[in-house]
Structure 1
C-alpha cells in the first residue's frame, strides 16, 4: 500500500487516533461509514467461561486505531464519535510512517501468535529472512533459540511482539 492522494489531490498519510476507553471498534466503524480508510489491528484471544471457551478479538493497541487521511480532514476526524485526539506533537497531528503501519498489518495477518508489547525500547534492529514475515524489520528483544521480534509504532511508544526462530533473523 502506498501513500495515496485524496479526492482533492492532497497527500494522505496514516495518523494514530486515541479513542475513548473500549470504543476502538465503534470509532473505527463510524469513521469507515464516513468514507475514511481505518486500520484497527485486532488479535484473537480465547476467553474461558464456566461452560464454554470463546474466541474474541481484542485491539492490539487498546485505546488506539489508525486512519488514513489528508491534513484537511483532521478537524472532521477529531469531531468523530469516540475520537479523543489525533496523536501528534505540540498540538499538530504527526503522521505514522507507512512502514510501521504495514509492519503491524503483516504481523496481525500472519499465522503467528502475536502479543502486545507495552513499550518500545531501543534494541538491536533485525530483518526476517525466512518464513511468513520475510522482509519485515523490527527490534530483537530476546535472544536464544526462540527469539522475540518487536514491531512497533514509535508515535504510540507501543508495539507487538512475536516468537520467531533465531536463525530466521539477521542484523540490519
Structure 2
C-alpha cells in the first residue's frame, strides 16, 4: 500500500480526473442523474459516517452508532480527531469500502448522487459515487491502517490543507443534499501547456492533446519533424 502527502490542489486534480459516475458504474443501462423519485424522502447520504463529520460544530465528544451486518446497532463509537486522506479504491469498491469502514467505526465520506437507471423498461434508483474510485477518509493513523486491512484500497494520500478540504466537502455535501444538478468538469483541455510533476518524466513540459478520448502530452522534437506524445494521468501534471 502507498501513502503520500498531497496538497489541496492535487486533491482537486485527482478527483477531477475521474470519469463521470454514471458512465463508470452503469454503462449497460440508460442512466440519468436525477431528482429523487416522486414521494421519496431518501435524501440522506448513507455513505457518510458519522453523520456530523462535515459539520464544523461537531467535536471529538460526538458519538455515533455503528450498524452491524444484521442492521442492528453493533457498537457505539466516539468520533476521534483525525486527518483527511484521499483514498484511491480498487475499481467499483467505493461503497463496499464505505460499508466496511462504518462497521469498523472509521470516519469517512463518499460523495454519491441518487441516480435513475432504466433497464428493459424498468426504472430503479441507486446511489452512485460522484468520483469513481475515490473516497475521503478522516482518520488517525491507527484507523487508516484498519482501512488498509479491508484489501479494497490501492493508495491513501494525506491532504496538506485540511481546513480547505473541510470547507470544500461541506459545500459539496450541501449541494448534493439540495439536489443541485452536478457535472464533473475535466481539468485539462487540448492546447494547455503543462509540466509533469512526478515519476520518471518529472520536469518534462509539453502540450495537452486529445486522441481517442484520452489525454496525451505532446513533446515537440523539431518543427520540421513534429514530435511524440504519451498518455498522461491528469494528477501528475501542473498547468504552466
Coarse TM-score class (shorter-chain normalised): 0.5 to 0.7
SS at match of 2:175: helix
Correspondence for 1:85 among 147, 155, 159:
155
Deviations 1:95-125 (A, max 9, x none): 552112112111211122222234389xxxx
The structure 2 residue matched to 1:117, chosen from 185, 189, 204, is 185
In the TM superposition, what whole-angstrom CA distance separates every residue of 1:8-39 from its partner, at most 9, and x where no partner exists?
99742222111110010000000110001221
Query: Following superposition of structure 1 onto structure 2, how do residues 92-171 of structure 1 map, counting pairs within 5 Å?
Result: 93-95=158-160, 96=162, 97-119=165-187
Give the conservation status (yes or no) of the 8 Å contact 1:13–1:98: no
Contact 2:87–2:137 (Cα < 8 Å) also in 1: yes
Q: What is the TM-score of this pair, normalised by structure 1?
A: 0.57
Secondary structure of 1:56 counterpart: strand
The answer (yes or no) to whether the contact 2:84–2:139 under 8 Å persists in 1 is yes
Instruction: Look up the SS of the partner of 1:112 in the other structure.
Output: coil
CA distance in 1, matches of 2:96, 2:79: 29
Higher alpha-carbon Rg? 2
Q: How far apart are the structure 2 equivalents of 1:11 and 1:37? A: 10
User: 2:80 and 2:124 mapped to 1: Cα distance?
Assistant: 44
Structure 2 unpaired stretches of 5+: 1-54, 62-76, 190-233, 236-240
The answer as to 2:127 corresponding to 1:62 is no
Residue range with higher mean Cα deviation, 76-85 or 22-31: 76-85
Aligned-residue Cα RMSD (Å) equals 3.0
- The answer on 1:41 being equivalent to 2:111 is yes
2:106–2:143 contact (8 Å) kept in structure 1: no
Distance in 2, Cα, partners of 1:8 & 1:42: 25
Q: How many residues align?
A: 118
Structure with greater strand percent? 1
In the alignment, the residues of structure 1 paired with residue 137 and residue 159 of structure 2 have an alpha-carbon distance, to the nearest angstrom, of 12
Highest relative contact order (Cα 8 Å, sep 6+), 1 or 2?
2
Cα distance in structure 2, aligned partners of 1:66 and 1:55: 24
For structure 1, list consecutive stretches of 5 or more residues without a partner in the other structure.
88-92, 122-155, 158-172
Aligned in 2, Cα 1:71/1:94: closer, same or farther, shift over 3 Å? farther
Distance 2:188 2:114 in 1: 22
